[in-house]
């Protein structure tokens, strides 16, 4: 794993190890973060650690036309169990993603630094949020990510009620499927696989960023 000086460019992603770990740096700057997404690289690290940069191979992605919606989720959407909005409260969504407990994780990778930088990306029109509200008007789910060209790089999601994050994700995909070629899910999870996401070679994923 390579150490990056502040102005040093990223090494080729082919130098990432088998887990996808490419490099680390001591600082997280906005120019570095924007450069990373254009090169298929993302930060993932714990508080009080160096910034670790990742580019896994294979890559977990969803092609919008391959979205799978179960019968039970179709009923949830048909019954309008939730109201879904876009970019209505990015700051709150990222805070909720930070706060939600996750099995097998102590703490969160969404540090104060991450919150600040992604809020800046949102203000630049590069980061976007999806909010999911229940019938009482409470925010019960959501997700956020970075939009580069015709690629949406999903970063994190949360749910306080069953099916809330799924409803947000499905609604987002269905609303923007004509504007997106691919949704980057980064790494494999059963939850994403159930929605139609699959692993593809990193080179194929990078071709969508050119």
DSSP 33-102: HHHHHHTT-EE---TTS-EEEE--SSEEEE-GGG----HHHHHHHHTT-SEEEESS-HHHHHHHHHHS--
What the block records as the tokens of 5 is: 């000086």
Query: What would you measure as the largest C-alpha separation in the chain, in angstroms?
Result: 53
Other Cβ atoms within 10 Å of 151 Cβ, number: 21
pTM: 0.94
Q: Fill in the DSSP letter of residue 15.
A: G
What the block records as the tokens of 200 is: 């593809």
Q: How far apart are CA 66 and CA 64, in angstroms?
A: 5
Q: What is the pLDDT along the chain (210 residues), one digit of tens a residue?
A: 899 998 899 999 999 999 999 999 999 999 999 999 999 999 999 888 999 999 999 999 999 999 999 999 999 999 999 999 999 999 999 999 999 875 555 557 899 999 999 999 999 999 999 999 999 999 999 999 999 999 999 999 999 999 999 999 999 999 999 999 999 999 999 989 999 999 999 999 999 999
Pairing of strands 151-159, 182-186: parallel
């Amino acid at each position: 794993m390579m150490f990056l000086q502040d102005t040093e460019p990223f090494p080729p992603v082919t130098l990432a190890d088998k887990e996808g770990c490419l490099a680390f740096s001591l600082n997280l700057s906005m120019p570095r973060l924007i450069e990373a997404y254009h090169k298929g690289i993302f930060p993932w690290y714990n508080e009080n650690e160096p910034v670790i940069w990742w580019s896994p191979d294979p890559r977990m992605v969803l092609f919008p036309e391959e979205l799978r919606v179960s019968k039970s989720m179709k009923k949830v959407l048909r019954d309008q169990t939730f109201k879904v909005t876009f970019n209505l409260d990015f700051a709150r969504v990222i805070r909720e993603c930070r706060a939600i407990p996750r099995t097998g994780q102590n703490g969160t990778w969404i540090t104060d630094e991450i919150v600040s930088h992604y809020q800046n990306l949102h203000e630049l029109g590069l980061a976007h949020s999806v909010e999911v509200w229940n019938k009482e008007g409470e925010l019960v789910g959501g997700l956020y990510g970075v939009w580069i060209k015709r690629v949406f790089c999903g970063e994190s999601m949360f749910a306080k009620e069953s099916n809330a994050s799924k409803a947000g994700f499905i609604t987002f995909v269905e609303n923007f499927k004509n504007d997106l070629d691919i949704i980057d899910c980064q790494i494999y999870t059963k939850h994403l696989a159930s929605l139609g996401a699959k692993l593809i070679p990193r080179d194929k994923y990078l071709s969508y960023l050119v």
